[in-house]
Amino acid sequence: MEMDISLLVPILLGWLGGLFVNYASDVLPHTRRFSQPVCPNCQTPFSWADYLTLRACRNCGTRRSLRTWLVQILAVASFSYFWLFPPNVLGLPLSLIVLIYFGVIVVIDLEHRLILHPTSLFGAVLGLIVGTYIHGQANGWLTGIGLSVLGGLVGFGVMFILYQFGALIAKFRARKMQADDGEEALGGGDVYLLGVLGLMLGWPFIVNALVIGVLLGGLFSLIFLIGLLLRQRYTGEALMNFIPYGPYFIIGAFYLLFL
């Protein structure tokens, strides 16, 4: 019985965490700051009471998005799971903060194909704390900081090289097609994201995250390509269509941190 009552804590915290992920994903891509949320359909500002109780827009009647509800449910489910089975490496409080951070990054990346600089900056601070905490427990804090920073440099560096390589290919394609479609296989934001994940995981775990992310990204690209071929929609253009890589690296980091 006691267990049932204590479960109310993660359910409530998870609901609040979900509200924050939704709020950040609603406003940051548009205003780059924590501004008043507006209806995506008619741009009428929400009152905070309406916004936080997930009401439909009072002006045009547009209901809240499917994503809003999905995030709320996933946040409550994952908070409850972490509450019952606390991740032993990272501990509960840091784990929940990392979870919210990953939520914001993934939702914005999937909806806008963007990794924002303010979230990367926040992530760098969080990453240094998490990485130092993980590596400092066994090796002492100074070594912990060193391994975290080394992981960050490796994540950033490897991604930076891949990004330059991708930019080179894009340039070559643009010259061939006489037009630049402005799309990149790997966005510049991914470079910062991998720096953040590198700080979090530290050396040498960032290498594992890179490998997992690239393999998952490649696998899903392959499935996507086969789907196009089967529907006979294959064009070079469709293949090169920008695929967000950020979520794959987050899956890799999530696996290494929590599973």
123: which residues sit within 8 A by CB, 6+ positions away?
101, 105, 192, 193, 196, 199
| Burial call 89-100: b when 16+ CB within 10 Å, e when fewer | ebeeebbbebbb
| Least distance between Zn ion and beta carbon 23 (Å) | 17
Q: Least distance in Å: CB of 60 to Zn ion?
A: 3
The residue among 60 and 125 lying less far from Zn ion, judged by its C-beta, is: 60
Q: How far is the CB of 59 from Zn ion (least distance, A)?
A: 5
- Min dist. Cβ of residue 9 to Zn ion (A): 34
Q: Which residue lies nearer to Zn ion by CB, 42 or 215? A: 42
DSSP code, position 45: B
Distances in Å between the Cα of 52 and the Cα atoms of 20, 26, 37, 144 are 10, 12, 10, 39
Question: Is the CB of 42 or the CB of 222 nearer to Zn ion?
Answer: 42
Token match 């963007």: residue?
Answer: 114
Closest separation in Å from C-beta 104 to Zn ion: 23
In the shown chain, the binding pattern of residues 22 to 61 toward Zn ion, with x for contact by CB under 5 A and - for none, equals -----------------x-xx-x------------x-xx-
At closest approach, how far in Å is the CB of 43 from Zn ion? 7
Closest distance between Zn ion and the C-beta of residue 37, in Å?
A: 11
> How many alpha carbons fall within 13 Å on the CB side of residue 156?
15
* CB closer to Zn ion, 60 vs 73: 60
The binding track of 56-95 with respect to Zn ion, each residue x by CB under 5 A or -, is -x-xx-x---------------------------------
On the CB side of 115, CA atoms within 13 Å amount to 26
115: left (phi over 0), alpha (psi -120 to 50) or beta: beta
Q: Which is nearer to Zn ion, 42 or 168 (CB)?
A: 42
Residue 75, number of CB atoms within 10 A of its CB? 26
Count of residues in contact with Zn ion, rule CB under 5 A: 8
Q: CA nearest 180: which of 191, 190, 189, 167?
A: 167
Give the relative orientation of helices 92-112 and 117-139 as an angle to the nearest 10 degrees: 150
Would you say 37 or 244 has its CB closer to Zn ion? Answer: 37
Residue 31 or 137: the one with the smaller Cβ distance to Zn ion is 31
**Which residues bind to Zn ion, rule: CB under 5 A?**
39, 41-42, 44, 57, 59-60, 62
